[in-house]
Structure 1
């Protein structure tokens, strides 16, 4: 039985508690990539992509490479190269049954982010994929997103978390151990996990 006693059931309830957005917030959304957004993408080395399958089960996946790794086709389309990963292909399997995606682009040191919502498809256009070559490797596939919404997201979350402030960071010695977590979850010895991770990061990055 849930320990939650009260929940919100309607947008009216939400608005009563949280209020309505300002005119700036209401009017900031555009439906295409203008020069400002294209410049932002050219300087962004990292994004998080949110997808959901046909049943609504969600997934959020990071993507990263050198700044500008996302290729802008035109004001309505961008392509994210599919670099080698863990072969779960969660995002792409979701896109096959539900093309709606949400993207958040991040630039290190900048507290505002760029959000893009749209519809995606998986592409294997060789001529296009060649333009996204990195470290001598051409991606096998790409994710093309048709832009439906594009807007700047405010910096409050980054300011509250002090994400870019090194003085707020946890000491390296006190960070969680990904190898330990993987070892316990996958029931594989820690040393073997560390070896597998090292091989993956050094030999299969591209």
Structure 2
């Protein structure tokens, strides 16, 4: 589909009533599983999670989903209503943090490798530099320059159907290495970098992965 093609659709769902007529209403279990704070089960889940996806949006509703990963339990549970996420070195675009300065709404999706269920946490966030907190988030002798403090409004477990359908944790479903997209090629073409070969870009990426994680 090119930019000149008509992007309109004939049968659009435009109201909550339409949506509910198609999908139906959630059962009692789905309605009642949301809790307003981090209980002992959520705390345990977060302590074993090395990876999350952070969702934010700006003042115009433009959305961003960003991965965050570190050692299991890298997200610090300050208390039952507050999570602290360290901001490790990246490419300095800081899209998520820019959004949070405008719109504090945040959604988090916690993963544990091999587990189909995920933990969803929604709330409001702010950027902090409190030294006593940043010092607790240090790793390999390096403290983060910033952290994201999340005021938790709701938590709930999301079922494993997406993982069962996708086979994400099943090695037999994984594509062979030669079938994977090349991040180096994509970056070169997207950023229009003409003074790097694919191999040079691979080495540049690998250097960052090896030497600038913290």
Answer whether TM exceeds 0.5 for this pair: yes
How far off is 1:205 after superposition? 0.7
Greater Cα shift, 159-168 or 179-188: 179-188
1:36 equivalent in structure 2? 41
Q: Structure 2: how far apart are the matches of 1:48 and 1:115?
A: 10
Matched, 1:155 2:195: no
5+ residue gaps, structure 1:
none
Q: Structure 1: how far apart are the matches of 2:206 and 2:165?
A: 33
Q: Structure 2: how far apart are the matches of 1:36 and 1:191?
A: 45
Provide the aligned length of Structure 1 versus Structure 2. Answer: 206
Matched, 1:195 2:203: yes
Q: Structure 2: how far apart are the matches of 1:113 and 1:17?
A: 26
1:15 equivalent in structure 2? 20
Q: Which of 58, 76, 80 is equivalent to 2:81?
A: 76
Alignment RMSD: 0.8
Q: Which of 2, 7, 30 is equivalent to 2:7?
A: 2
Q: Structure 2: how far apart are the matches of 1:155 and 1:124?
A: 36
Q: Which of 133, 137, 150 is equivalent to 2:138?
A: 133
SS for the counterpart of 1:85 is coil
5+ residue gaps, structure 2:
1-5
